Structure 1
Amino acid sequence: MSGRSTRLIVALDTKDTAQAMRWRAESAGHAGAVKLGLEFTYARGLEAVRDVAGDSPLFLDLKLHDIPNTVASAIGSLKAVRPAMLTIHAAGGRAMIAAARQAIDGTFPDGARPLLLAVTVLTSMDTQAMHEIGVEGSVEAQVVRLGQLAMESGADGLVCSSHEIAPLRAALGEAPVLVVPGIRPAGSAVGDQKRIMTPAQARAAGADWIVVGRPITRAADPAAAAAAIAAELSD
């Protein structure tokens, strides 16, 4: 089993500000960070993102993917939101990732710079889905290829499936911060995820952070669900 500490990010996947605030409050004692993404940001805007996050470290999951100058400019607009982590797509390429790195370093003061995390292959995709968009080979090979590119270009870490933690560690060592969505406690619904593990399995594999949404936020008692996952990570 990995000796590293694995922490919980609670995904606040809603368009409703009041609901997101309730979920944050209910999970606050058990989560190391909260995630807000495209759904909430598009519906409510960056000011609401900042308000909902409050004092909790914010994983701002916007998956930026555009020409380098546009991505850099977008990052420059996020200073007031104070994210702790920010996502881009590794598939945007070396120049885009490097531009994102430069924008973070130029926008945020020392001590407040968010981790730049590159998304490798979405956890909703499998080999067939990759082949349908023209990417040959295995999911694992593509994740490692994009992970190497991202880290060489200035990323601090990667967003990957739990099934790719081991090959990424083998290829890149301990340096990348690995954030792992697609986590489902034993017995919970899989939903639209294809490559999943339980919290304990992801911890054993060596994840730094796991992202859990519906198994907590749709639970009858979100606080208890978050507490159970946090306990599983610390066993």
Structure 2
Amino acid sequence: MTKPIIALDFPGEQEVFRFLNHFDEKLFVKVGMELFYQEGPDIVRKIKAMGHDIFLDLKLHDIPNTVKSAMKGLARLGVDLVNVHAAGGKRMMEAALEGLEEGSTGKRPMLIAVTQLTSTTEEQMQKEQRIPLTLLESVLHYAELTKEAGLDGVVCSVHEAKQIAERCGDSFIRVTPGIRLPGGDVHDQKRVATPDFARKNGSTYIVVGRAVTKAENVVEAYKEVCRLWEGQ
């Protein structure tokens, strides 16, 4: 069973290490835009030096050459998982993969693409993105495009994970944010689920943020997520 990925959505280094120092075990953590843009690549190096695995969640979306160059640089940080937006297109995703392969000195980081954000509703997608499909159809289309580009998987909601596995194969990774403990606040996300529901519905990795990082006892909250995710 994969480890839950814990989103380090903190404003700076001090808060990150205050949180990480609660744990005796090595975690799989997510460094997103908020933290990376405040602290830069050095925060990634420091977390890796502690032995933690890292999902660098920057969601690159630009012209192919720019994304390739950016990924070549990110590969040198030694992270374990990175992502792009599938909406950037097949060629951009292929370029991202090329950049990672060229920049990696050891094992290449896993590369996944965001389908639709878990904060996006079907009505919003159709009205604002002008995509005349159901949300599920859009997500499945992006997943298939991502697979054609040679990437390792996608970011999707738990509610689409099973269908993506059926369409793209079980080895195609499904990383699902929006994970909450039973009775937890959904905050700004719309398509959410509990760890046990994610396990039953085909998630490969789950991403958990405030349900752990804002808990009164972060270690116990993490253990509860693990228990539910592992089906204990």
Partners of 1:207 and 1:34 lie apart in 2 by: 17
The answer on whether the counterparts of 1:88 and 1:117 sit within 8 Å (CA) in structure 2 is yes
Match of 2:121 among 120, 123, 126: 126
Match of 1:183 among 179, 183, 189: 179
The code of the aligned residue for 2:172 comes to P
| Structure 2 residue 30 is the aligned partner of structure 1 residue 35 | yes
The code of the aligned residue for 1:93 comes to G
The code of the aligned residue for 2:101 comes to D
Q: How many positions carry a matched residue from both structures?
A: 229
Secondary structure (helix, strand or coil) at the match of 2:192 reads coil
Structure 1 runs (4+) deviating above 3 angstroms are none
The code of the aligned residue for 1:121 comes to Q
Partners of 1:102 and 1:216 lie apart in 2 by: 35
The answer on whether the counterparts of 1:199 and 1:229 sit within 8 Å (CA) in structure 2 is yes
Match of 2:157 among 158, 161, 183: 161
Higher relative contact order (CA 8 A, sep 6+): 1
Partners of 1:192 and 1:98 lie apart in 2 by: 31
Cα deviation for residue 52 of structure 1 reads 2.9
The code of the aligned residue for 2:117 comes to L
| Structure 2 residue 84 is the aligned partner of structure 1 residue 88 | yes
The answer on whether the counterparts of 1:17 and 1:52 sit within 8 Å (CA) in structure 2 is no
Match of 2:45 among 46, 50, 65: 50
Match of 2:14 among 18, 38, 44: 18
Cα deviation for residue 28 of structure 1 reads 5.6
- Structure 2 gaps of 5+ residues are none
Which TM-score applies when normalising by structure 1?
0.93
Partners of 1:84 and 1:43 lie apart in 2 by: 21
Cα deviation for residue 166 of structure 1 reads 1.4
The code of the aligned residue for 2:77 comes to V
Partners of 1:28 and 1:104 lie apart in 2 by: 31
The answer on whether the counterparts of 1:34 and 1:58 sit within 8 Å (CA) in structure 2 is yes
The Cα RMSD (Å) is 1.3
Partners of 2:60 and 2:36 lie apart in 1 by: 13
| Structure 2 residue 210 is the aligned partner of structure 1 residue 214 | yes
- Name the structure 2 match of 1:139: 135
Cα deviation for residue 105 of structure 1 reads 1.2
Which TM-score applies when normalising by structure 2?
0.94
The answer on whether the counterparts of 1:30 and 1:230 sit within 8 Å (CA) in structure 2 is no
Q: 1:135 to 1:89 in 2, by over 3 A?
A: same
- Structure 1 gaps of 5+ residues are none
Sequence identity (%): 37
Alignment deviations for residues 42-68 of structure 1 (CA, whole Å, 9 cap, x no partner): 111111222134310100000000000
Q: 1:87 to 1:27 in 2, by over 3 A?
A: farther
The answer on whether the counterparts of 1:27 and 1:226 sit within 8 Å (CA) in structure 2 is no
Partners of 1:25 and 1:118 lie apart in 2 by: 31
The answer on whether the counterparts of 1:7 and 1:208 sit within 8 Å (CA) in structure 2 is no
The code of the aligned residue for 2:221 comes to A
Alignment deviations for residues 214-234 of structure 1 (CA, whole Å, 9 cap, x no partner): 010101111110011111122
The code of the aligned residue for 1:161 comes to S
